[in-house]
């Protein structure tokens, strides 16, 4: 249990109402020093927990503001400690004055994520739930919100707990046999049943590991690379999709010399668009570096929009297909023929015919990025290409890279268990691999996490949470 009492502003600036959180053993006493209830003869310490008390914040005789104070008593609070929350007017001056008074009377300014860290240390939530708090605050779409809520409510934790309990039962049976190793006729752990249990656990862990590709796409955005020759309209399309002038648009070839990235939500799905340098032969050192980065980003993309000037489509496809197509394994390619407003119907048919001969079965669309023609259809194609499942708050999907790494190690360990059982290895070898699997699953919940890991996790939280 932490001994010092912390305080911090918990609301963003600019609102009509502001909130300051106080947590720690002296939270109520310190708040009482600067707060007087409106009801005569009443003190904050006399108030029942989970109630609001109206009164005034004062510095000596000077009244700072009329406020409401919420009271929580340990262990029934967010942090598990005695806590108060002061709701005042949203003036930055008032908020700072209240904060300074609290510090003057014994509080310490909270660090990033310290409230949630205390909640974890005091057993109010495990580490995966604590990390979900940051994801919930950062959620920018319905899908990311649902995933964060599921994890914060303990859906992921419950699944991990069930796996750990099964593994503990598993290893206890094997280790019981080891204790009676002198009696060869005794077998507490039925090998057929253990193999069945190991297969089940492997299946669950494997499902969680494979869910990371979906979870990562939902959380960080489906990566979409916009590639093509110079002056094909890549930057114009980026601006249309983002609905802002993010990239410089010019008729001069080679204007985009570096990668430009930004995210936006389309149909409830977050896409991370990557506008790349135009691909062409050049002696310009800076532009060449930009083209090199284009191919690096192409490797990271799941969806590729190959922008092609429709007025010169056959030539551009012939020139770049050798460089682009070998890099598109397991990627969804959409050929985007831009400047379609300059084409006639007959010419469009010629372009499609050329595309089918150069890139068989390619998905094609004609647009005019400049005039925003058919860009809505392109957005629908992007949603279909993302192919993300509908997410509910009951779905358990891994979105955190730390969790993914631990689960990968756990999957390797349970794989060795399966192999050991199949080869009739000694129980002590099998038990060691089971313990390793339990260790990695426990690492996710924070049961074996060291201070350095905790510091790295919580330093990315906002102050006040």
46 is in an annotated binding site: no
* DSSP three-state, residue 195: helix
> Which residue in the block uniquely carries the two structure tokens 């969804």?
332
Q: Fill in the DSSP letter of residue 36.
A: E
32 is in an annotated binding site: no
278 is in an annotated binding site: yes
What is the greatest pairwise CA distance in the chain?
A: 89
Task: Please check whether residue 178 is in contact with residue 428, taking contact to mean a CB–CB distance below 8 angstroms.
Answer: yes
257 is in an annotated binding site: no
> d(Cα 416, Cα 397) in Å, to the nearest integer?
25
436 is in an annotated binding site: no
85 is in an annotated binding site: yes
338 is in an annotated binding site: yes
> d(Cα 325, Cα 82) in Å, to the nearest integer?
62
420 is in an annotated binding site: no
> Which residue in the block uniquely carries the two structure tokens 């253990």?
194
Q: In what order do the strands lie in the sheet with 269-275?
A: 260-266, 269-275, 222-228, 303-309, 332-338, 363-366
11 is in an annotated binding site: no
> d(Cα 327, Cα 314) in Å, to the nearest integer?
20
Residues in the chain: 465
134 is in an annotated binding site: no
341 is in an annotated binding site: yes
Two tokens at 221?
A: 């955005």
Q: β-strand 17-23 against 52-59: which pairing, if any?
A: unpaired
Query: HEC profile for 380-431?
Result: HHHHHHHCCCCCCCCCCCCCCHHHHHHHHHHHHHHHHHHHHHHCCCCHHHHH
Contacts of 450 (CB under 8 A, 6+ apart): none
235 is in an annotated binding site: yes
In the chain, the N- to C-terminal Cα span, in Å, equals: 18
345 is in an annotated binding site: no
124 is in an annotated binding site: yes
232 is in an annotated binding site: yes
90 is in an annotated binding site: no
Q: Fill in the DSSP letter of residue 48.
A: P
> d(Cα 339, Cα 373) in Å, to the nearest integer?
9
> d(Cα 239, Cα 275) in Å, to the nearest integer?
10
Task: Please check whether residue 19 is in contact with residue 10, taking contact to mean a CB–CB distance below 8 angstroms.
Answer: yes
283 is in an annotated binding site: no
255 is in an annotated binding site: yes
254 is in an annotated binding site: yes
Q: In angstroms, what CA-CA distances link 237 with 3, 149, 373? A: 56, 34, 11
Provide the annotated binding site for Mg(2+). 235, 256
Residues placed in the known binding site for GTP: 231-236, 250-256, 275-278, 338-341
Residues annotated within a binding site for K(+): 231, 250, 252, 255
Binding residues for (6S)-5-formyl-5,6,7,8-tetrahydrofolate, as ranges, are 21, 85, 124, 465
Question: Which residues line the annotated binding site?
Answer: 21, 85, 124, 231-236, 250-256, 275-278, 338-341, 465
């Amino acid at each position: 249990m932490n001994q010092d009492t912390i305080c911090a502003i918990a609301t963003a600036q600019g609102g009509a109402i502001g909130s300051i959180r106080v947590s720690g053993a002296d939270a109520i006493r310190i708040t009482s020093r600067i707060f007087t209830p409106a009801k005569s003869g009443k003190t904050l310490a006399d108030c029942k927990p989970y109630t609001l008390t109206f009164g005034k914040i004062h510095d000596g005789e000077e009244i700072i503001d009329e406020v409401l104070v919420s009271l929580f008593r340990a262990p029934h609070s967010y942090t598990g400690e005695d806590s108060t929350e002061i709701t005042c007017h949203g003036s930055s001056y008032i908020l700072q004055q209240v904060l300074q008074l609290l510090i003057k009377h014994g509080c310490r300014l909270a660090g990033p994520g310290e409230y949630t860290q205390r909640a974890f240390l005091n057993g109010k939530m495990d580490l995966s739930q604590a990390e979900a708090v940051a994801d919930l605050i950062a959620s920018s779409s319905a899908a990311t919100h649902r995933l964060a809520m599921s994890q914060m409510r303990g859906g992921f934790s419950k699944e991990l707990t069930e796996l750990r309990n099964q593994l503990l039962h598993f290893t206890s049976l094997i280790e019981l046999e080891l204790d009676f190793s002198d009696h060869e006729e005794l077998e507490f752990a039925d090998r057929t049943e253990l193999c069945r249990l190991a297969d089940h656990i492997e299946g669950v862990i494997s499902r969680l590991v494979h869910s990371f590709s979906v979870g990562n796409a939902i959380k960080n955005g489906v990566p979409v690379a916009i590639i093509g020759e110079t002056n094909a309209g890549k930057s114009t399309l980026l601006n249309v999709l983002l609905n802002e002038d993010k990239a410089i648009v010019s008729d001069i070839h080679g204007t985009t010399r570096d990668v430009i990235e930004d995210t936006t939500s389309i149909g409830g799905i977050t896409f991370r668009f990557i506008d790349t340098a135009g691909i062409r032969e050049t002696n310009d050192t800076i532009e060449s570096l930009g083209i090199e980065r284009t191919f690096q980003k192409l490797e990271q993309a799941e969806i590729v929009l190959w922008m092609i000037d429709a007025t010169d489509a056959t030539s551009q496809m012939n020139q770049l297909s050798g460089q682009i197509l070998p890099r598109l394994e397991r990627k969804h390619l959409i050929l985007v023929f831009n400047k379609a407003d300059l084409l006639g119907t007959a010419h469009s048919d010629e372009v499609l015919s050329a595309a089918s001969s150069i890139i068989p079965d390619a998905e094609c669309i004609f647009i005019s990025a400049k005039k925003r023609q058919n860009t809505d259809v392109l957005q629908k194609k992007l949603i279909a290409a993302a192919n993300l499942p509908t997410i509910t708050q009951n779905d358990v999907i891994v979105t955190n890279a730390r969790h993914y790494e631990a689960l990968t190690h756990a999957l390797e360990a349970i794989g060795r268990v399966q192999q050991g059982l199949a080869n009739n290895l000694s129980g002590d070898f099998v038990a060691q691999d089971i313990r390793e699997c339990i260790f990695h699953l426990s690492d996710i919940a924070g049961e074996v996490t060291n201070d350095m890991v905790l510091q790295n996790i919580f330093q990315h939280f906002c102050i006040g949470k």
